[in-house]
Amino acid sequence: MAFKNRRAHFELKMARRIPRVQRRKKFQFEIFAESTKGCRCDTYSLHMPRIARLSITGDETTGPSQKCIDVRRWYNPEYVYVPVAGRSLGMGIQVREMVDWVRRRKIFATLLIVFTLGVGIILGTLISGRALATRSQAGSPGAALLAIPDPVQLSNGFSAIIGRLEPAVVNISTTQVIEKPKSKKPRDSGDSDQDFFDRFFDSPDNGPDAERSLGSGVIVDKKGFILTNHHLIDQATNIQVTLNNDQKRYTAKVIGADQETDLAVLKIEPDGDLPVAKMGNSDGANVGDWVLVFGSPFGLQSTVTAGIVSAKDRANLGKQFQRFIQTDAAINPGNSGGPLVNMAGEVIGINTAILTGGRGFQGVGFALPSNTVITVYNQLISSGHVTRGSIGIRFSEEHSNNPILLKELGATYGVVVEDVEPGSPAEKAGIQSGDVVTEVGGHAVKVGADLVNPIAQTPIGQNVQIRYIRNKQAKEVAVVVGDRLKLFPETASNATEMPEDSGPSEFGLRLEDLTQEFARKLGVEKQSGVLVAEVEPASFAEDIGFLRGDVIIEVNRVPVAKLSEYKREITKLKPGNDVLFKVARHSEAGRLLTVFLAGSVPAEQ
């Protein structure tokens, strides 16, 4: 292999460190080859460095080699260069030559560097942009694109029912006046003014109190007939109904009530037709079916809870004619009178009671079945009361469930008669104590309701077939159904008494002329008007904010200085008219306030 004119580059290291003072001197070097063929060496004249970088050109037979290098210094043999083992600096010499070239041509080299950098930046920008575009356009082959699916309404069954039924659910607030015991303190009737001040100042809390309650109801007729619970409106003197999403209050009348089933029917006078709830057949409800409870628990209007039918035909929880649907949907105070609704959007019950150790719901609620509700409702709107049939017998369901007793009496099932009312249809038909009634109207009697309900629903005066066992022998007889209230008079005393429609006079205000002495004692010497001596509970005056001790100064911006002037202005008002009262009132801080009270005149005064 020929090495002619081929250059090799080697690094020669000084064998001894050069003193600092001699590093800037120039020396002459001669490099030759030990080989017989030899190498042509270059001679350098340079500042003495610690490392000398030399280039050697080989001949035709001998290639440049690190082994053929010898370095001699002519001026000072003490400093001798020796080859650095294994280090070939071909690239280093080229870089050094380039640096020397740059130093000699600084301006041209600078322009060349700037031009090179500019071209590099432009090329880099183009290449990177194309790479990004290529990457975004190419994507990942084989990957499927994701699509946003259509929304799925998982609970639209509930929301659809709520949307249809909720407008027919109402909030009911009632007020019951509770009279306090009259004071037995003797008064001197000779001074009427003093008697008034004794009542006003010495016994300010001796008047009646008002007890308020909240509940729910459901509209079943577009003309304003509402189903609710009897216990909600019992003894109420004022019943207010608020429709769903409507702040207007309607004064309700009681059409009829049934204490035995705890049901009542109210009537309001709406401005137009009202939305109604559809009644369903409670016999179609099964244990495990989803149900919704509507109402206003704790006064929270438009509340809906969900659950299932936990049990059916629950008895011995209330009165004789109450057999409930049990549910675990939350029923709380305020839900009373609201509807229990199935998944068809039909009312299958009226929320009536809860079983709890405290005041709140604990998972056991009860609703009166809609079939019973419909029967009672039809009688209430027809006659205002419920008439139930009876044949005049008494029994104990607990005793009738004793299988040993039934066996001894010769029956496998039935209800054991314990007493027969004198003169009753049962006595006239020959039924006696100890008989076991096994069938009514051809249907088996296994529990008390199987005996009572068919007879109660039979019109008064009609016959019903009774099959019974006496002395282990079966007998059958036709019995004329009588009126339960007449056969059992003690139940009549517990029947619901309807409140009398005796509205308070003059909006529930008892007024007195404001004499100078009254004004001085009340601290309103500079005022003229009519003194409010008492505000009746649950009255229009209480509803708009009147307080005992107020002084009415104006009625509809007309000054009233005495009672006759007040009455003259009041007589001008008609039901539905708006009325504005200007009132002087003492604050708790002792200052005299001017208060404005307003409202619409109620339909019944």
Largest CA distance in the chain: 164
Catalytic residue among 262, 435, 450, 550: 262
Nearest Cα neighbor of 270 from 603, 605, 516 is 603
Across the beta sheet with 225-229, what order do the strands follow?
Answer: 249-251, 238-242, 169-178, 209-221, 225-229, 263-267, 253-258
How far from the centroid of its chain's Cα atoms is residue 284's Cα?
Answer: 30
Cα–Cα distance for residue pair 55/8, rounded to 1 Å: 6
Catalytic residue among 336, 390, 400, 424: 336
In degrees rounded to 5, what are phi and psi of residue 457?
A: -90, -5
Catalytic residue among 9, 59, 173, 231: 231
HEC assignment per residue over 19-77: CHHHCCCEEEEEEECCCCCCCEECCCEEECCCEEEEEEECCCCCCCCHHHCEEEECCCC
Q: Which amino acid is at 544?
A: I
List helix spans (H) across 153-205: 156-165, 192-197
Q: Which residues of 497-517 are buried (b: 16+ CB within 10 A; e: fewer)?
A: eebeeebbebbbbbbeebeee
Concatenating the DSSP letter of every residue in 298-363 gives: GG-SSEEEEEEEEEEEE-SSSSTT--EEEE-S---TT-TTPEEE-TTSEEEEEEEEE--SSSS--S
HSE-CB at 60 with a 13 A cutoff on CA atoms is 0
Cα–Cα distance for residue pair 492/484, rounded to 1 Å: 9
- Asked if 140 is an active-site residue, the reply is no
- Name residues whose C-beta falls within 8 Å of residue 497's C-beta, 6 or more positions apart in sequence: none
Helix (H, G, I), strand (E, B) or coil at 13: strand
- Asked if 336 is an active-site residue, the reply is yes
- Asked if 385 is an active-site residue, the reply is no
Is the Cβ–Cβ distance between 601 and 576 less than 8 Å? yes
Taking the CA atoms of 388, 390, 395 and 400 in sequence, report the sign of the dihedral they define: negative
- Name residues whose C-beta falls within 8 Å of residue 584's C-beta, 6 or more positions apart in sequence: 524, 527, 529, 550, 551, 553, 592, 593, 594, 595
Tokens 């009536």 belong to which residue?
Answer: 352
Catalytic residues, by residue number, are 231, 262, 336
